[in-house]
Amino acid sequence: MRLSVIGCGYLGAVHAAAMASIGHEVVGIDVDEAKIAALRAGSAPFFEPGLSEILTSGVASGRLTFTTEMAAASGAAVHFLAVGTPQTTGGHAADLTFVNAAVEGLLPYLRPGDIVAGKSTVPVGTAARLAALIEPTGATLVWNPEFLREGWAVQDTVDPDRLVVGVTAGATDVVQTMKDVYHTAVAKGTPFIVTDYATAELVKVAANAFLATKISFINAMAEVAEVTGADVTQLADAIGFDQRIGRRFLGAGIGFGGGCLPKDIRAFTARAEELGRAESVGFLREVDAINLRRRDRAVQLVVGALDGVVFQKKVAVLGAAFKPHSDDIRDSPALEVASRLKGLGADVVVTDPQALENAARVHPQLTYEPSLDETLRGADVVVLVTEWDEYRRQLTPEHAGSLVAQRVVVDGRNSYDPALWRAAGWTYYGMGRP
């Protein structure tokens, strides 16, 4: 099938390349010329495992092209909207400028029978509004939310755990076309949920709100553990054995960040207020507050570990990305902790296997060091904030101990075995652990 993908960021670039990898002829369209030039050359403009491979093979096969010209969307059977919906400046609502511009730009090229498939995360009610703009062209809008995780984006796109398509009543042909798009997943028996626009939009925000709530729940337990001497990691293991609860996303630590969970729960709260249902999702404000408090807690632990004297102490910060397997630093808890320590007068040195370039652009005040050993050398305290394998599994307390000035570690992701580090002479501080 011929497909167009409008917006070639984390979502769109992966979607375009993944759709080409399952046999479709795809054009990716974006207003950012530098991004398009990189993608055309088969190079991923951000770090995402497996993306370069499918980009290169897609471009080489001739089935995957990239352009800044919206006219190139002409002739595609399905047009995916994959532009960003960031948090508005100065507010909590989602900024729909890019979605509106993408639809307006696409309208002149739509033909009767075309499908426009919305993938961007939008406030409930957006699809119905956009459908009214699209329908006069004879094209049909479907809402097809995306659930990919950064770091696993290729796998999640090609082999998702469910597909959701929101349509207007009686759109059977349209549903079949969407099944043809995702033919490999459909052939595998992937759950394919056909629903209305509002449900499809809500499935996406509800899923992210639930995940954020799960993380803040365990972080709230960490706060209680801190005043009772309990261990939140053991608590999470123990409740996680209950299959109704499950252990995944019960990792206590410095909390969630990134371009999705924080802004999605805020946008959901803002939308619920507009709909007169503020009280229904009022708990998400608490989820947000708990999450942000964990960053304060990490800073406090570091200050405490240095006996309150931070000025000119060398703090080795392991991690800058909002999570491992990504170079994304949007709302990164790691960089917030680093910046706050820098603000207190510490000599902060940050290392990360992928995110240093992005971090340096946004936080030029911090010192960056690509080598882990150099970051650790002479450190008065080590702070683990992004649990890359390099820092979590491969770094031994003995090796780290041979480089630092003081064997003091603050484990912001509860990734280390405290017994092992203490046995090697380290003073260990975790998040919600004794």
Q: Which residues participate in catalysis according to the annotation?
A: 260
Distance between CA 384 and CA 375 in Å, rounded?
Answer: 12
CB atoms closer than 10 angstroms to residue 374: 13
Cβ(110)–Cβ(79) under 8 Å? yes
Minimum CB distance to ligand UGA, residue 149 (Å): 4
Q: Exposed, middle or buried: residue 347 (CB in 10 Å: 0-12, 13-18, 19+)?
A: middle
CB of 429 to ligand UGA, least distance (A): 17
* Residue 325, Ramachandran bin (φ over 0: left; ψ between -120 and 50: alpha; else beta): left
Rounded least distance, CB 23 to ligand UGA, Å: 24
CB of 148 to ligand UGA, least distance (A): 5
**At its nearest, how many Å lie between ligand UGA and the CB of residue 247?**
9
DSSP of 203-268, one letter per residue? HHHHHHHHHHHHHHHHHHHHHHHHHHT--HHHHHHHHHTSTTT-STT---SS---SSSHHHHHHHH
- Are β-strands 25-29 and 64-67 bridged in parallel, bridged antiparallel, or unpaired? parallel
Residue whose CB is less far from ligand UGA, 140 or 358: 358
Q: Minimal distance in Å, beta carbon 138 to ligand UGA?
A: 31
Estimate the crossing angle of helix 126-134 against helix 197-228, to 10 degrees: 150
Q: Could you tell me the two tokens for 334?
A: 């790691």
Instruction: Supply the minimum distance, in Å, between the C-beta of residue 71 and ligand UGA.
Output: 29
408-411 sheet: strands from edge to edge: 367-368, 347-351, 314-318, 381-384, 408-411, 427-429
- 192-195 sheet: strands from edge to edge: 64-67, 25-29, 2-6, 78-81, 115-118, 140-143, 163-166, 192-195
Instruction: Provide, rounded to whole angstroms, the least separation between the CB of residue 150 and ligand UGA.
Output: 4
Q: Contact positions toward ligand UGA, by CB under 6 A?
A: 121, 146-150, 208, 211, 215, 249-251, 253, 255-258, 260-261, 322-323
- Identity of the residue, 332 or 375, whose beta carbon is nearer to ligand UGA in the bound complex: 332
Distance CA 146, CA 155 (A): 13
The residue number whose beta carbon is nearest to ligand UGA equals: 251
For ligand UGA, the closer of residues 24 and 263 by Cβ is 263
The DSSP code sequence of 276-327 is: T-GGGGTHHHHHHHHHHHHHHHHHHHHHHHTTT--TT-EEEEE--SSSTT--
Closer to ligand UGA by CB, 129 or 149: give it.
149
User: Cα-flanking dihedrals φ and ψ of residue 427, to 5°?
Assistant: -90, 120
Compute the least distance from the CB of residue 3 to ligand UGA, in Å.
20
- Cβ closer to ligand UGA: 92 or 149? 149
| Burial category of 33 from C-beta neighbours within 10 Å (exposed 0-12, middle 13-18, buried 19 and up) | exposed
Tokens of 199: 């449900």
Q: Which is nearer to ligand UGA, 262 or 397 (CB)?
A: 262
Q: In the 8-state DSSP scheme, what is residue 88?
A: P
Cα 358 to Cα 62, 67, 234, 325, 405: the distances in Å are 31, 24, 35, 14, 29
